[in-house]
Structure 1
Amino acid sequence: MIPCRPEHIVYLVKKMREDERAQFIALSGLEQFDEDAAVRWFIEAAHLSGVYAVTVLQDDDLPAAAGGFQPAGPGVWQAWMLGSEQGWSEQWRSLTKGTRWLMDRIFESGAHRLQTSAITSREHAIEWFERSLGFKAEGVWRHYGIRGEDVAHFSRLRGE
């Protein structure tokens, strides 16, 4: 795990998984995937996340995934992440360990709530949030996405 840099995001947006592209479209309001818009959004997310934005590398030292948590309110942090198919298949254990480590650091710094969301078609991501990261389901915003996608919301509270 290393600090997230803009070049990691540029690489990962080009390699972004289809389900992540679908989520970006649903939540960005764009009619189709736009690499430049995605790069700008994720670079801004990494900037807002500061030290809470990291990249996990593949065996070939290319980025597997990048993600972090950006402030969403006092003591509340919102997760973001993007990755490649190869990165997830090779480094899912490292991604899980790195994310859990990052979550622990944020709680230690005073956060009381971490949160994330996903379009409901991202079943593997939702399973990962709940089983591997300890997030709890909070509900679904029906037809929230641009094409009527339902968006599930999750949180983990300090001490859980």
Structure 2
Amino acid sequence: MTITVHNQVMIEELVYLARNMRPDEIEQDLAMTGLTEYDPEQAILKMAAVHGPKFIILADYTPVVAGGFWQVRSGVWEGWQLGTMEGWDKHWWHITRVTRKLNDRMLARPEVHRLQLYGLAGRDKTFEWYERSLGYRREATLSRYCANGADAVLFARTKEAA
């Protein structure tokens, strides 16, 4: 099996991922957008429109996971990522290694002092991965933060103040 990582994400790769998204990521998408039914087209357009660094991990030319960062404000960047169940089941180690490295590189940029992630409350396995594997710390539970009124949890990695 050949695992490759690219910094240029093609629209057809996003189409594949949006049509094969993990159920917990679909649930989070619905909570954040307020939609009642998952719309892959809306997810594709949203991912394609994100301005900022992006990456894709392929296993034998099949998309496994994509992600990236968008700038919230000067110095603060928010991460996003989505993948397939099969991709995570078979390639979790590669996904973790690549994601950690990309997060480390992003935080090392001189213009970046904070990385943050939001997750739908209750995604405890994902939150454990954020903390143990990616080095994020839980900052807060945001009551009724999501468009549908559900709670979200905020995680961050910050650069030490000079």
**Are positions 1:105 and 2:110 aligned together?**
no
> Following TM superposition, by how much is the alpha carbon of 1:107 offset from its aligned partner in structure 2, in angstroms?
2.0
**Are positions 1:25 and 2:63 aligned together?**
no
Q: Aligned to 1:149, what secondary structure does the other structure show? A: coil
**Are positions 1:90 and 2:90 aligned together?**
yes
Taking the aligned partners of 1:159 and 1:124, their CA distance within structure 2 comes to 27
Taking the aligned partners of 1:100 and 1:146, their CA distance within structure 2 comes to 29
Structure 2 unmatched runs, 5+? none
The TM-score with structure 2 as length reference comes to 0.90
Taking the aligned partners of 1:141 and 1:22, their CA distance within structure 2 comes to 17
Taking the aligned partners of 2:6 and 2:79, their CA distance within structure 1 comes to 17
Q: CA contact under 8 A between 2:57 and 2:66: conserved in structure 1? A: yes
**Residues 48-63 of structure 1 aligned to structure 2 (within 5 Å):** 48-49=51-52, 52-58=53-59, 60-63=60-63
RMSD after superposition: 1.5
Once the two structures are superposed, what CA deviation does each residue of 1:22-71 show, in whole Å capped at 9, x if it has no partner? Answer: 101111121221111111111112xx02xx2111112x320100001111
Structure with a larger share of its residues in helix: 1
**Residues 5-154 of structure 1 aligned to structure 2 (within 5 Å):** 5-45=10-50, 48-49=51-52, 52-58=53-59, 60-110=60-110, 111-154=112-155
The total of aligned residue pairs comes to 155
Q: Spell out structure 1 runs of 4+ moving beyond 4 A.
A: none
State percent identity of aligned pairs. Answer: 35
Q: CA contact under 8 A between 2:33 and 2:148: conserved in structure 1? A: no
Structure 1 unmatched runs, 5+? none
Taking the aligned partners of 1:121 and 1:10, their CA distance within structure 2 comes to 27
